[in-house]
Amino acid sequence: MFAVVGVALAMAMNASAGDSTVPNPYFAVLSGTTAAELPAKSAELVAKADAQQRQQTTIDVVNAAVPLNPAAAPAIVGSIAQSAPEMAAIAAATAVGLVPNHAAAIARAAAAAAPKQAGRIVEAICRVLPAAYVEVAEAVADVVPGAGKEILAAIPTAIPTLNDTFNKVLASYNGKVPSVSTVLIQVQSSVPVATAAQLPQSTFASPALAGPTPGPPFVPTVGPPFGGPPANHQNLDPGSGGQVTSRDYSAPVPP
């Protein structure tokens, strides 16, 4: 089951990467939406998409919506996951690629809205941001405590370098399913230094999640975001891995 997530995510992201020079078709629609309406409008666009196009639509919508209000990424993903549960993992992984510092909150929102997709959500996010596997798994386990088995299976599926360690830890419980936090503590204490050093590198090699899709480079955050320039704008720099930096528009723009 979890292998399907990787294949689906790879196909969708590669398609998105191939269209990286094409303007995002949802940016114009979402940029005219208020901050309060942004999550619901994003979910509406995904829910209305044709079944065969819903996966790509989810990626495009998240890539358009999150840069408009990075702090609202969990709400955006949660709304999409609620309206289209089968897209929860894709939406979460895409959002984490844009704002990795919100990984745990995004994972929690996605799992709360689509609890049956808990394992897939963990796997998809861990493929994009392997170094966050502990916080992501714990966040999902907090809101879907009964999905421990799926969550623990998802991590080594997404991060093969942890497979042997997880197998050894789980084998020590003789078939019983311990808590997610218990296993993670043991795994962390058992992971070799060399293996741990590999975790910051994504196991999903695609530029599609490196930053927002092409569009106006400076977008407003929460506030009166779309009715004129607020006092403080934010720039989502694709080269920074999704980190948001501020820019003072009172100073002259260099040529």
Determine the pLDDT at residue 142.
97
**Looking at per-residue confidence, does 103 or 229 come out higher?**
103
Q: Strand pairing partners for 219? A: 234
Q: How many CB atoms lie within 10 A of CB 207?
A: 13
Q: Please determine, for residue 237, whether its predicted confidence score (pLDDT) is greater than 70.
A: no
pLDDT score for 122 = 98
Label residue 170 exposed, middle or buried (CB < 10 Å: 0-12, 13-18, 19+).
buried
CB atoms within 10 A of CB 141: 24
pLDDT tens, residue by residue, 150-177: 999 999 999 999 999 999 999 998 878 7
Average pLDDT on 94-110 reads 98
10 Å Cβ neighbour count for 49?
18
Tell me which range, 15-24, 106-115, 180-189, 237-246, is most confidently predicted by mean pLDDT. Answer: 106-115
Model confidence, pTM: 0.71
pLDDT the model gives residue 174: 86
- 215 band by pLDDT with thresholds 50, 70 and 90: very low
Res. 213: pLDDT tops 90: no
More confident residue, 9 or 227: 9
For 125-146, the DSSP string reads: HHHH-GGGHHHHHHHHHHH-GG
**Is the pLDDT reported for residue 58 higher than 90?**
yes
**Poorest-pLDDT segment among 71-80, 174-183, 207-216:** 207-216
pLDDT of residue 191: 77
